[in-house]
Amino acid sequence: MKFSKKIYTLLAAAALAGLTTSCEKQLEEYNPSGLTPEAVYTTPAGFENLVNAAYSYNRWWYGKEDGISMSEMGTDLWLRGAGDVNPDLTDYTTLQSSSRAVESLWSKLYIGINVCNAGIARIGQSGMSDALKKTREGELRFLRAFYYWHIVESWGNVHFTTEETLGAVKTANLTPADTFYKQIFEDLGVAVANLPTTTADYGRVTKPAAEAFLAKMYLTRGDNQKAAELFQKVITGYGFSLQQSYASLWQMNNLENKEIVWAVNYSRDLTLNDRLDTGLYPDGHSRGGNNGHLLWLMKYDDQPGMVRDVANGRPFNRFMPTKFLLNLFDETKDSRYAASFRTVWLANTAVTTGTKTLAVGDTAILATKKVVSTAVRNAKKYRIYDVNDIYNANGTGKNRLQYVCLRKFEDPTRPTIQEEQSSRDAYVIRLADVYLMAAEANFKLGKTDDAVKQINAVRERAALPGKVADMRITAANLSLDFILDERARELAGEQLRWFDLKRTGKLIERVKAHNPEAGASILPHHIVRPIPQRQLDAVTNKSEFIQNPVYR
């Protein structure tokens, strides 16, 4: 069962007025209901809406275009497609304080923080039972830690507070990352202590999810022993298990499976995903259900034998894989290549072009990372885009409209061909990720046998029939770069890559080595994002609250 995170505008008006750290201009507030936070959040029902509101800000990042641009683009794995709307994050060439995506997510994360701050401060007056207060505080503490991790890793030493904002604040502080992490560890300690091990409301955070994220924080801060121990507890202590088939992870009828430690859930009733809530989301950008299904698909519906349909998706062609990513897979033994990438499109309309006729169901398009000879092309009646059609010799994009496409997030259950929303949940923590982070911690501890076993657990699941032994690695294969390669094979597109590369100190090195477009522009200061100019303009202590170095 999923719990609804829809936020009702009446309650949001009482809770969210003035929650940003600053205001660009004076706003005249109008509250027709007369409700106040004191009136609303001293009732159990009102406080539940506050907690639901706190969860909802995950929907601006997970399964959304801006969040994907912030967390996957500008890494070793992706180039911009023809439709990329955030090329500043993909290529770094124009990344400055005016970035729309950076500004939007800065604002939403800080609003989420403020909702958490308000709830943590007010939970004693919520009217809930003591047991429920404990659980809800655990959720709010987890969410505050989760949002602050996104903030401090994305922007570095920026504004920090645990106090509720109750109006326009005209100053901001620059706080060291150590302070952020001290609070993150404190909040996660409370969350681990307070949260139940399971929940009937799918999407609420639980104790194992809090422990997995706490272990990730230990890993991020270099406490590898605590990280390894806690990851192992999550792996063995709660009944999670890897799905038998990697491909089955992405089936729309199998989203709530035993591999998922925590997901940002979206409703099958698309009206509950806030798409039309113009009072709460006046700018409209990124509202609604998961839109990840749109972003990775190539332009197929202008090719012979193909018209747009629900099964093949609505192609926004925002992002395309690097040659490096495609070549990480040995598809002769690793099922993840076929499960992760679409390479073949079947004709959905009959067509005759010259002497070649395509019937419905025939192959219409092949996109491949291999070279296809002229003789083979001439012998086929379908359109072929091979590696030399898609990429230049140096690996830069040549054709940004037709290419091998990430398919994990496709949704053939959408009601219409134009529907932008999907009810697909966005996985945030899944067991395979936990295994690979545990392996990373053990590798750094010198416990290579444990690291190899944990990596092999993931690779064995990914093996094609009869190829399990071929997929296993030994200690001789192990390195930090191998672990990052394995994370790419397992987790590509799952909004982890930028953080993975930053955590391991490999962002600049690997982007330069494996992404010929972003690698030409990435510089040391790109390990953090620019503070939005609107935020800098809004504060009165401009000499103290200053831009991250080099950005303008």
Which residue, of 362, 383, 406, is where some domain finishes? 406
What is the 8-class DSSP label of residue 397?
A: B
User: What is the SS3 assignment for 358?
Assistant: strand
Residue 406 has pLDDT above 70, yes or no: yes
Which residue, of 381, 406, 431, is where some domain finishes? 406
pLDDT at 2: 72
Confidence of residue 236 (pLDDT cuts 50, 70, 90): very high
How many angstroms from the chain centroid is the CA of residue 190? 25
Lowest mean pLDDT among 21-35, 386-400, 425-439: 21-35
Enter the pTM of the model.
0.93
pLDDT at 353: 85
Q: Are residues 125 and 16 in the same domain?
A: yes
Q: Are residues 38 and 154 in the same domain?
A: yes
Residue at 377 is within a domain: yes
Q: Determine the structural domain holding residue 350 and report its residue range.
A: 292-406
State pLDDT tens for residues 180-205. Answer: 999 999 999 999 999 999 999 999 99
State pLDDT tens for residues 486-512. Answer: 999 999 999 999 999 999 999 999 999
How many angstroms from the chain centroid is the CA of residue 204? 17
Strand partners, 391: 397
Which residue, of 374, 406, 438, is where some domain finishes? 406
Q: Are residues 197 and 296 in the same domain?
A: no
Confidence of residue 4 (pLDDT cuts 50, 70, 90): low
Residue at 61 is within a domain: yes
What CA–CA distance (Å, rounded) separates 486 from 498?
15
Summary mean pLDDT of the chain: 92
**CATH code for the domain of 93:** 1.25.40.390
Q: Are residues 194 and 342 in the same domain?
A: no
The answer to whether the CB of 198 falls within 8 A of the CB of 260 is no
Helix axes 130-155, 100-122, angle to 10 degrees: 150
Q: Are residues 21 and 156 in the same domain?
A: yes
Confidence of residue 287 (pLDDT cuts 50, 70, 90): low
Helix axes 44-56, 9-16, angle to 10 degrees: 80
Q: Are residues 170 and 40 in the same domain?
A: yes
Q: Which residue has the tokens 């859930």?
A: 265
Residue at 461 is within a domain: no
Q: Are residues 13 and 132 in the same domain?
A: yes
Label the pairing between strands 363-367 and 383-385: parallel
Confidence of residue 14 (pLDDT cuts 50, 70, 90): very low
Residue at 32 is within a domain: yes
Q: Are residues 303 and 182 in the same domain?
A: no
Q: Are residues 299 and 172 in the same domain?
A: no
Name the percent of the chain lying above pLDDT 90. Answer: 86
State pLDDT tens for residues 114-136. Answer: 999 999 999 999 999 999 999 99
Residue 17 has pLDDT above 80, yes or no: no
pLDDT at 108: 95
Residue at 481 is within a domain: no
Q: Are residues 35 and 162 in the same domain?
A: yes
The answer to whether the CB of 202 falls within 8 A of the CB of 255 is no
Phi, psi of 341 (to 5 degrees): -125, 140
Confidence of residue 321 (pLDDT cuts 50, 70, 90): very high
Residue at 385 is within a domain: yes
pLDDT at 324: 98
Q: Are residues 71 and 192 in the same domain?
A: yes
What CA–CA distance (Å, rounded) separates 243 from 257?
8
Number of structural domains, the chain?
A: 2
pLDDT at 275: 61
pLDDT at 268: 79
Residue at 550 is within a domain: no
Cβ burial, residue 31 (10 Å; 0-12/13-18/19+): exposed
Q: Are residues 180 and 314 in the same domain?
A: no
Residue at 153 is within a domain: yes
What CA–CA distance (Å, rounded) separates 419 from 291?
9
Lowest mean pLDDT among 21-30, 165-174, 246-255, 268-277: 21-30
What CA–CA distance (Å, rounded) separates 360 from 357?
10
DSSP string covering 3-32, please? PP----HHHHHHHHTT-SS--SS------T
pLDDT at 166: 85
Residue 282 has pLDDT above 70, yes or no: no
Confidence of residue 534 (pLDDT cuts 50, 70, 90): very high
Could you tell me if residue 25 is left (phi over 0), alpha (psi between -120 and 50 degrees) or otherwise beta? beta
State pLDDT tens for residues 424-463. Answer: 999 999 999 999 999 999 999 999 999 999 999 999 999 9
pLDDT at 277: 58
State pLDDT tens for residues 239-279. Answer: 999 999 999 999 999 999 999 999 999 987 777 666 655 55
State pLDDT tens for residues 346-391. Answer: 999 999 988 889 999 999 999 999 999 999 999 999 999 999 999 9
**Residues near 446 by beta carbon (within 8 Å), at least 6 away in sequence:** none
